[in-house]
Structure formats: C-alpha cells, structure tokens
Chains A and B, each alone.
Chain A
Amino acid sequence: MGLLRYIGKIVSGAWTIVLGYTVTIPEIFRPIKTVQYPREKLTMDPAYRGHIELAMLPGKDGHLCVACGTCVRACPSHVIKVQGVKPGAMGAKAGVSFLIDFSRCSLCSLCVDVCPMNALRHSMEYDLAYYSRWDSVIDLIARFKEQQERG
C-alpha cells in the first residue's frame, strides 16, 4: 500500500510537471502581446490624465484662466503658480503666467475639479522625462500659445 502511494505520488507529481509544459510550450507559438515602445506607441484613452494644460475651446481665441488662484489653493503639493494682470480698469483679470512643477504633481485632478472657469484640462502626454529639474517646470501659457500656432 505504502509503495503504491509512493509511486502514485511520483507519477502524479510528474504529471503536473507535464501540465506545466503544456501551458508554456504552446505559448511560444502564439503571437506577441507587447508593444515595442519607442517604435510603436499606444494611443491614450481620452480620459487619460496627463499633466494639466489650459483648455482650448473652439471659437475662442485665448484661454479661460482668470488667475483666481483657486487651483493654487486646492493643490495638495503646491505645484501651481499663477500670475494675472488686469488688462484695463474694467475688464476681468487674465492669467499671464501659469507655471506647474510637474515633478511634484501627483495628477490628482483636484485643480481641474475646482476651476470655476473650466479653464484646465488634462493633457495626453505620458512619456515625459527630463534632464534637469528645471525642465519639469512647464509654462502652460507658452504651451497654450504653441498649441494654438500649431492649430
């Protein structure tokens, strides 16, 4: 009896080894699943939250930021710096400088949530790497103008 159990254990153990092979060997002949990153790129889902940028609205020239500073206060990591000027005595304030330090941003979307003007949205950028900490400071106004020029 003991001998039979001993042999049974060996045989069943060996069988699970064979089962393991039956999983992995067929996989060799199946097509590849991975994306060859620098050569091919995935398109990001429209919902993807990259770093923030100023929203571009069709039929509108400029951005909507009025430099109210709500996003500055909402930001948990004190990433945002906004400066605005009043163009004249009457008109509303407009943001002239909107800096974010992306290296400290945690992409929580709180600033987008609180913006009363809906001036902010998330960009689609995901492969960002910098040589210097300076480079991670993004001027959103300059970025907005660049995008506008490109159309």
Chain B
Amino acid sequence: MISSSALNELSKALGAAEVHATDYNRTGSHLDVTVAGDGLRAAAQTLQGRGFFLEDLTAVDHRTHREVVYRFNLYQGPCRVTIRAKADEADAVDTISDLYPLANWMERECHEFLGVTFTGHPDPRRLLLPEDSDFHPLRKDFVVPQEALAPEYHQD
C-alpha cells in the first residue's frame, strides 16, 4: 500500500486544483484530484512518466456541466489515481489519446454518449452508436424517443 506522503507528493506533482478526500476501502481510489482545464495533459504526462497506465475513462453528467473522470493505476501494485477534469462551457476537454492510445476509443465512447468534445482527438467519429446519431443517450436530459420504446406485447 502506498504511503500518504507519497500520495501528497504525487498530488502536488499533478498540479491538482482540488484534492478530494478519498478512502480506498470505500471508493476504490487512493488519490482523487480535480485538475483545472488545461492542467489535464500535464497531469497525464506526469503520470505517464511515472509508469502509470490508463485504467478507465468516463464522464459524469452533473446536469449543469460534464466532468470527465480518468483513472490511472500502476502495474506494480494498487495505486489508483482518479483525475477529474471539468468540461468547459462548450463541453470540451483536451484529448490524451496521443499519450495513451487506449484513450482514443474511450474518448470516442465518452463523446458519443455524453457529448463531451475532446479537443484534438484524431478521429471523433461515432463508435458504438450509428454514425448519423445526433443525441447523447447518457445525458440526464436525454429523453428516450417514444418510438424507441418496446411495443406492448399484445400488439402482435
């Protein structure tokens, strides 16, 4: 298990704008920080330099804004670093797909489901949804269109 002083050092190195209290046994991450808009790539670069790999990438729709959540981990042992980046007014966040190729697909997925734009993404096409879809189904304001709901079973 990683020491708290090392975590403190790490959060400083990441240029965290905000450090959230986290309990590994409860939330599953050792360090939970929010980085300011343009600090994300720097933080990702720092983590890459220290041998962290990208474990997960997703976004949360907070109704007022979108927040992209990155998880990094070490192969040697559990040291999960959660990095949160708030998307700006245009729902845009810098891409890290050039640093972590895995992020390419994860960002595409994030983009189509939550409408977060990743600035500088090389291939921002739809991945899982139809190519021409213009909706973001995991947004809280997304209303399932009536015709998409399953028909009643009696109408055979």
* A contact residues vs B (CB 8 Å cutoff): 101, 103-104, 132-134, 136-137
Contact = CB atoms under 8 A, between A and B. Distances in A.
B75 interface: no
Q: Is the interface of A mostly helix, strand, loop or mixed?
A: helix
Contacts of A103: 153
Interface of B: 153-154, 156
Q: 5 closest A-B pairs (Cβ-Cβ)?
A: A133-B156, A101-B153, A134-B156, A133-B153, A132-B156
Nearest to A78: B150
11 contacts: A101-B153, A103-B153, A104-B153, A132-B156, A133-B153, A133-B156, A134-B153, A134-B154, A134-B156, A136-B153, A137-B153
A82 B68 CA distance: 43
Given A103-B153, A133-B153, A134-B156, 8 more contacts: A101-B153, A104-B153, A132-B156, A133-B156, A134-B153, A134-B154, A136-B153, A137-B153
A69 to B, nearest CB: 19
Contacts of A134: 153-154, 156
Q: Is the interface of B mostly helix, strand, loop or mixed?
A: loop
Nearest to A132: B156
Nearest to A137: B153
Contacts of A133: 153, 156
Nearest to A135: B156
Contacts of A137: 153
B19 to A, nearest CB: 38
A101 B153 CA distance: 8
A132 B154 CA distance: 11
Nearest to A79: B153
A137 B156 CA distance: 12
A103 to B, nearest CB: 7
Contacts of B153: 101, 103-104, 133-134, 136-137
A57 to B, nearest CB: 31
A134 B156 CA distance: 7
A136 B153 CA distance: 10
A133 B156 CA distance: 7
A133 B154 CA distance: 8
Contacts of B156: 132-134
A104 B156 CA distance: 14
Contacts of B154: 134
Nearest to B155: A133
A100 to B, nearest CB: 11
A132 B156 CA distance: 8
Contacts of A136: 153
B5 to A, nearest CB: 46
A72 B153 CA distance: 16
Nearest to A77: B150
A106 to B, nearest CB: 14
